[in-house]
Chain A
Amino acid sequence: MAITVRVDIVSADHAVMGGEATFVVVPTKMGELGITPRHTQLLSELKAGEVRVTDAKGVVSLFFVSGGVIEVQPHAITILADSALREEDARALEMIEEEARLKALESRIEIGTRETDYFRLRGAVEAEERLKWIEGIRGSARHSSQ
């Protein structure tokens, strides 16, 4: 049996996944990072992007995280995401609604550059990344079906 590592992905409002994996790729501030089981302890900042988790059977599941922190211990990986989205959930989302959400966020940014707007700005950037990611996985699904 392949060596596995426990992976937990939690976002601020719910637990997204928990399970064993043989390989995990996360988007850190410094670039993409691939982690195999028994990796040394690591704490890193995540940026908005795709998390790929390969399980013992070799099946890859995709997630989108909008930033957060990852903690790696030799036998456990914890991804503390600000918000996270599963691939299957992303496919079920209505594209138009997502676009409208992004527009709404962008329109609110212009109000000013006060400190509180930092969160809005970041939210909009993350929403844009998210939209791109959703488009991306849908695009690849179309290719494979052809």
Chain B
Amino acid sequence: MAGTKEIRTQIKSIQNTRKITKAMEMVAASKMRKAQENMQATRPYLDKIRVVISNLSKAHPEYVHPFMVERTVKRVGLILVTTDRGLCGGLNVNLFRHVLRTMQGWSESNVEIDVCAIGSKGVAFVKRGAFNPVAEITGLGDRPRFVKVQGAVKTLLDSFEAGKLDEVWVARNEFVNSMTQKPNLVRVLPITPEAVTAQQHHWDYIYEPESKDVLDLLLKRFVAASVHQATVENVACEMSARRIAMKNATDNAGDLIGSLKLKYNKARQAAITQEIAEIVSGAAAVG
């Protein structure tokens, strides 16, 4: 009977694990739906603000905001959007790999990097590496609030305004569909709307109260909205990645249980056969 008991406990424990992964899969699936709706809901704001900014670039403003001016790059700010929790497949790791490649390029051209990490995984990553962390946010939850993002982004915006940073980038996962998430890096500062092709007639906005104040507010909102959208999208990515990861884990557990059951039955069968052989040979010896 050697082994059957061990195999039985092994099967039990894998069954328990399967129950957990199955439950996590279902939780992630329902959260994914909500996160996707949330992502759709925040999109109009960013779309509209983008329209306003592209209108702005067509106008001929008397005042050019520092956020819209390109500078030679000596120091960049990086906003790294990650998840708070693991067990979501290669989502964060893929992003880190992608970011590291870009960072290497920056380091080679002697560009220094300030990192603002969003999400515990990103914070841990920044601490492991030799980066310069400037801000961090964790615990945004399943519905990241705009105001919370604004606070962290402000530090980077301030250093950009003060001329300490020459570019600000956001690294995040792009939600392609529920099966695919693509890590990417986008530049949010300076803001360069698509180049104006045809020279339209000269017009400019009336600004109230002051062009500087209004533009400042508008552009800051734009950056914050971009980052907010990234965090919201990242939640959708996290949930779909976790759903897939947990589905795979559940399937694997099923396979394992199958093969262990086969092994268990074989062992049991062998034990019975052996017992019968012993009895038969015993009877033969007596008879």
Contacts and interface: CB of A to CB of B under 8 A. Distances in A.
Interface of A: 8, 10-15, 28-30, 33, 40-45, 68-69, 71, 73, 78, 80, 82-83, 115-116, 119, 123
B154 A115 contact: yes
A71 B52 contact: yes
B147 interface: yes
Pairs of residues from A and B, 8 with the lowest C-beta to C-beta distance, nearest first: A15-B44, A44-B208, A12-B146, A14-B41, A43-B205, A42-B206, A71-B52, A41-B205
Nearest to A39: B206
Given A8-B48, A15-B44, A80-B52, A43 B218 contact: yes
Specify the main secondary structure of chain A where it touches its partner. strand
A69 B52 contact: yes
A71 B152 CA distance: 26
B42 A41 contact: no
Contacts of B146: 12-13, 82-83
5 contacts: A10-B44, A12-B225, A15-B44, A40-B206, A44-B214
Contact of A45 (B59, B203, B208): B208
B115 to A, nearest CB: 19
A69 B209 CA distance: 12
Interface residues of B, number: 33
Given A41-B59, A43-B218, A82-B146, A10 B48 contact: yes
Interface of B: 38, 41-42, 44-45, 48-49, 51-52, 55-56, 59, 146-147, 150-151, 154, 203-209, 211, 213-215, 217-218, 221, 225, 228
Contacts of B205: 41-43, 71
Contacts of A29: 208-209
B228 A12 contact: yes
A44 B55 CA distance: 14
B218 A69 contact: yes
Contact of A80 (B209, B211, B215, B221): B221
Contact of A10 (B38, B45, B211): B45
A40 B214 CA distance: 17
Given A42-B205, A45-B208, A78-B48, A69 B151 contact: no
A123 B38 CA distance: 22
A14 B48 contact: no
A29 B213 CA distance: 11
Nearest to B143: A13
Nearest to B56: A43
Contact of A28 (B55, B147, B208): B208
B239 to A, nearest CB: 18
B221 A69 contact: yes
Contacts of A78: 48, 51-52
A10 B51 CA distance: 13
Contacts of B208: 28-30, 33, 42-45
